[in-house]
Amino acid sequence: MPQHPPREQCAGDIDVLRRLMSDRFTCRAYRRTPVPDDEIRSIVGLARKSASWCNTQPWHVVIGTSDTTEKFRSALMAQARKVPQGDADLPFPEAYLGVHAERRRETGHRLYQALGIERHDHERRDSQMFENFRLFGAPHVAIVTMPADLGHYAAMDCGGFIASFLLAAHAHGVATTAQGAVARHARFVRSHFGIGEDRKMVCAIAFGFADHDHPANSFRTIRAPADEIMQLV
């Protein structure tokens, strides 16, 4: 049976994990350079180690090459313009209230500030929102789905896979954007990629190499302190 490593080794592991967790960010502008296939396989190979209920591993991911992603990008933008409201497989939040509304508002404010978008400039705000459907210019997209009959806990398991994918990608020097906005058009996305009705779309992940010179990548979101999200009894 595998054993826990000695504590001195754990200290080094903690430092690596702390750096990965702290440095990872949501990329909102990419270079066009594709990620090599072997690196993509390595990222998925790490993410597949994620925990799941009874080891069901309900996730499946369709990953677009640069050519496939470019075709999908064009089709998705056309669909988003034609049917803005979409048809998500999983329900979207009914409302953002209290601290959740405040955090969402603060993130938007920081992004628009980095981009120099004024509060009442609705045209530029809408244009930035539409970047979701342009996949922020990423050369690749991953579509994460789950079995339709496994319910809420399969979605939770997929969340663990997604988090692992983001960290594994960052460890490879690959930037990512987990995108709920694309899942708003789940039926279209599944049809485009030939994904059956027996699966539900959880989210998309745009990924590639970050354009660090773009102002959209110059800001970072804030996390609540541990004591605010934890109750030790």
pLDDT in tens, 30-84: 999 999 999 999 999 999 999 999 999 999 999 999 999 999 999 999 999 999 9
pLDDT in tens, 12-23: 899 999 999 999
With 0-12 / 13-18 / 19 or more C-beta atoms within 10 angstroms meaning exposed / middle / buried, residue 113 is: middle
Q: What share of the chain has pLDDT > 90, as a percent?
A: 93
Domain segments of the chain as ranges: 25-95+132-216
User: Domain 25-95+132-216 classified CATH 3.40.109.10?
Assistant: yes
pLDDT at residue 1 in the model? 62
Band (pLDDT 50/70/90 cuts) for residue 2 is low
pLDDT in tens, 165-205: 999 999 999 999 999 999 999 999 999 999 999 999 999 99
SS3 content of the chain, % helix, strand, coil (to 5): 50, 15, 35
pLDDT in tens, 128-164: 999 999 999 999 999 999 999 999 999 999 999 999 9
Query: Is a pLDDT exceeding 80 seen at residue 3?
Result: no
User: Looking at beta carbons, which pairs linking 70-76 to residues 24 or more positions away fall under 8 Å?
Assistant: 72/141, 72/192, 72/193, 73/133, 73/134, 73/135, 73/141, 75/188, 75/192, 76/133, 76/135, 76/182, 76/185, 76/188, 76/189, 76/192
| Separation of alpha carbons 36 and 33, rounded Å | 9
- Decide if 166 contacts 24 (C-beta within 8 A): yes
Query: Closest Cα to residue 25, out of 160, 224, 219, 225?
Result: 219
The average confidence (pLDDT) of the chain is: 95
- Decide if 221 contacts 110 (C-beta within 8 A): yes
Query: Closest Cα to residue 130, out of 83, 181, 92?
Result: 181
The predicted model gives 89-95 an average pLDDT of: 94
- Decide if 140 contacts 209 (C-beta within 8 A): no
